[in-house]
Amino acid sequence: MSKHYNGLKTTLLFGAIWAIFLGLGAVVGNGRFIWLFALIGLGTTFYGYWNSDKLAIKAMRAQPVTREQQPAMYRIVEDLSAQAGKPMPRLYVSPTAAPNAFATGRNPKNSAVCCTEGILHLLDERELRGVLGHELMHVYNRDILTSSMAAGIAGVITSVAQMMLFFGGNRNANPIALIAMALLAPLAATVVQLAISRTREYDADEDGAALTGDPLALASALRKLERGTAAAPLAPEPALVNASHMMIANPFRAGDAKKLFATHPPMDRRIARLEQMSQGQQPGITRY
Q: Beta 90-94 vs 110-116: how paired, if at all?
A: parallel
- Domain enclosing residue 89, as ranges: 6-278
Residue 283 within any structural domain of the chain: no
- Is 68 considered catalytic here? no
Residue 287 within any structural domain of the chain: no
13-17, 103-107, 109-113, 121-125: lowest mean pLDDT where? 13-17
Query: How far is the C-alpha of 187 from the C-alpha of 179, rounded, in Å?
Result: 13
CA nearest to 184, candidates 19, 20, 14: 20
Q: Which amino acid is at 5?
A: Y
Residue 159 within any structural domain of the chain: yes
CA distances from 177 to 22, 26, 108, 161, 272 (A): 15, 12, 45, 12, 43
Active-site position among 135, 201, 206, 226: 135
- For the chain, the first-to-last Cα distance in angstroms comes to 20
138-194 confidence digits (pLDDT tens)? 999 888 767 666 666 666 666 666 666 666 555 555 666 566 666 766 666 666 666
pLDDT at residue 134 is higher than 50: yes
Query: Mean pLDDT highest for which of 19-28, 89-98, 147-156, 233-242?
Result: 89-98
What is the rounded radius of gyration, in angstroms, for the C-alpha atoms of the chain? 20
Query: How far is the C-alpha of 116 from the C-alpha of 101, rounded, in Å?
Result: 6
Residue 1 within any structural domain of the chain: no
Q: Which amino acid is at 214?
A: D
Per the structure, the count of domains in the chain is 1
Q: Which amino acid is at 177?
A: A
On whether the CB atoms of residues 37 and 174 are closer than 8 A, the answer is no
Residue 198 within any structural domain of the chain: yes
Residue 288 within any structural domain of the chain: no
pLDDT at 28: 60
Residue 72 within any structural domain of the chain: yes
pLDDT at 286: 46
pLDDT at 198: 76
pLDDT at 5: 57
11-15, 113-117, 168-172, 273-277: lowest mean pLDDT where? 168-172
79-88 confidence digits (pLDDT tens)? 999 999 999 9
Residue 286 within any structural domain of the chain: no
Three-state secondary structure call for residue 265: coil
39-43, 60-64, 259-263, 265-269: lowest mean pLDDT where? 259-263
Query: How far is the C-alpha of 60 from the C-alpha of 239, rounded, in Å?
Result: 9
